[in-house]
């Protein structure tokens, strides 16, 4: 049984009372007698704090069984990084019917950008990934219309001032791979940041493909529109 509307963290006795109609005083007796199960063990503490992914039972009947889910997806061009859109396909539309329930995107990509997307139903995890105090590096492969020079490398490394937001970007590492392609490493996600930075040179970005978020790299076995769960090693490598 899912509990998508349940707060992220909550007291076990309050949860049981809300889901069974048993008053809080009688819930104490249920806990004391060991009739409440929490993650496979008897729960007896009145004020125990649990969360939306805790497995909770009463007399063997499941009250909540809501599993955390963490996916990597290879986003194709022309798909919206959103859970719903009236005009275009979304990344949620790429998932199997039962997989996309309650998932959200941890770090978006533009409509025409491709590559690694992370999706989850764990809001605390996605907020940690987005935390500005503990920035996670993102890596992109970029192709551009005009030839690249070392001027780009220096300008990206200094950061660029965006007057509309009145901010200066953090230093960005640009590695030239060929005349018209580069690898870009950054720890921010400003609006169209990479395209705008190349735009300072009047150099149009032709393709933008994300290949890594932190230590998690896009699985080369995943074709466009394909996805898979993150491994435990991948999860442990992220904040």
DSSP conformation letters of the chain: ---TTS-SEEEHHHHHHHHH---HHHHHHHHHTT-EEETTEE---TT-EEETT--EEETTEEEE-----EEEEEEPTT-BSSS--SSS-BGGGGS-TTTSTT-EESS---TT-EEEEEEES-HHHHHHHH-TTS---EEEEEEESS---HHHHHHHHH--EETTTTEEPPP-EEEEEETTEEEEEES---TTHHHHHHHTTT--EEEEEEEEETTEEPPTTPPTT-EEEPPHHHHHH--
CA 112 to chain centre: 19
Cβ-based neighbours of 222, under 8 Å, separated by 6 or more:
72, 73, 74, 228
Residue 33: how many other CB atoms lie within 10 Å: 10
Annotated catalytic residue 13: no
Nearest to 231 by CA among 70, 68, 66: 70
Which residue out of 51, 93, 110, 219 is catalytically annotated? 110
Active site residues: 110
């Amino acid at each position: 049984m899912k509990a998508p509307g349940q707060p992220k963290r909550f007291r076990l006795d309050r949860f049981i009372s809300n889901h069974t109609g048993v008053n809080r005083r009688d819930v104490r007796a249920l806990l004391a007698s060991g009739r409440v199960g929490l993650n496979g063990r008897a729960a007896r503490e009145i004020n125990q704090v649990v969360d939306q992914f805790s497995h909770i039972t009463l007399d063997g009947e499941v009250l909540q069984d809501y599993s955390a889910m963490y996916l990597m997806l290879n986003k194709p061009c022309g798909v919206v990084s959103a859970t719903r859109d009236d005009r275009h396909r979304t990344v949620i539309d790429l998932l199997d019917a039962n997989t996309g329930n309650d998932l959200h995107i941890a770090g978006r990509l533009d409509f025409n950008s491709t590559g690694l997307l992370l999706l989850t139903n764990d809001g605390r995890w996605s907020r940690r990934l987005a935390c500005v105090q503990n920035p996670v590096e993102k890596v992109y492969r970029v192709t551009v219309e005009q030839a690249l020079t070392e001027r780009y490398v220096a300008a990206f490394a200094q950061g660029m001032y965006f007057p509309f937001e009145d901010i200066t970007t953090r230093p960005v590492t640009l590695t030239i791979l060929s005349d018209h392609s580069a690898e870009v490493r950054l720890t921010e996600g400003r609006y169209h940041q990479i395209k705008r930075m190349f735009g300072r040179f009047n150099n149009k970005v032709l393709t933008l493909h994300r290949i890594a978020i932190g230590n998690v790299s896009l699985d080369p076995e995943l074709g466009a529109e394909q996805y898979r769960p993150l491994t435990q090693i991948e999860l442990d490598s992220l904040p």
